[in-house]
Amino acid sequence: MLDRIIYRTKQLLFALTAKMTEEDNIFVRQYLDIKEASLFFSLPEYEQKHCVTVARRMFAESRDKKNLDGRKIIRLGLLHDIGKAAIRLSLLNKGFMVIIKRIANPFYNLFAKMGESEKSNPFFRKFYVHKHHGHIGSEMLKRIGESADIVNEVAMHDEPVTSHDAYMQILDQADSSY
């Protein structure tokens, strides 16, 4: 339990201090086309910085794996949370949802279910987007003509780790490493 508190505290501190640098912006533009970058830059800055950090960690972790495509690794890291662009989540909103998910999971799931429709109450819609951002992101990417492999990997982001391929295993590890 103490490990989770420390982990979540580190996440909060990261998010509170997250600032995209010019180097980060160049990195993003180097790997994403204009449509993808437009979606990426619609994320809150703390989510953008998280995705850049995850992409860099994924690339570092995969360097010795010759069977993996380094460019795909970086693109997947940058795009894995793109579904969160579907609705604006403040740090306060996100923190509240994480707490509800942890201490009252049945309510978290109920609220997410109640937010399934795009016309749902915004309170519930935020829970739905938080819970299903992988699937939402895959649909967003599909609409802009993203490659099927990235679309499928982003969609799997909501699935249990045991079902993931090598790319998703690296993503899961990098995504939960700070």
Average pLDDT over residues 25-44: 97
The confidence score (pLDDT) of residue 87 equals 92
The CB density around residue 89, as the number of other CB atoms within 10 Å, is 21
What 3 state SS string does 97-112 have? HHHHHHHCHHHHHHHH
Question: What's at 126, amino acid-wise?
Answer: K
Query: pLDDT digit string (tens) for 86-136?
Result: 998 888 888 888 889 989 999 999 999 999 999 999 999 999 999 999 999
| Residue 15 φ/ψ region, left for φ over 0, alpha for ψ in the -120 to 50 degree band, beta for the rest | alpha
Query: pLDDT digit string (tens) for 39-85?
Result: 999 999 999 999 999 999 999 999 888 889 999 999 999 999 999 99
CA pair distance 113, 63, nearest whole angstrom: 40
CA pair distance 103, 97, nearest whole angstrom: 10
CA pair distance 156, 57, nearest whole angstrom: 19
Whether the pLDDT of residue 161 is over 90: the answer is no
- Domains of the chain (ranges, CATH numbers): 2-175 (1.10.3210)
CA pair distance 148, 150, nearest whole angstrom: 6
Q: In the numeric block, which tokens belong to residue 106?
A: 């049945």
Question: Cα-flanking dihedrals φ and ψ of residue 13, to 5°?
Answer: -60, -40
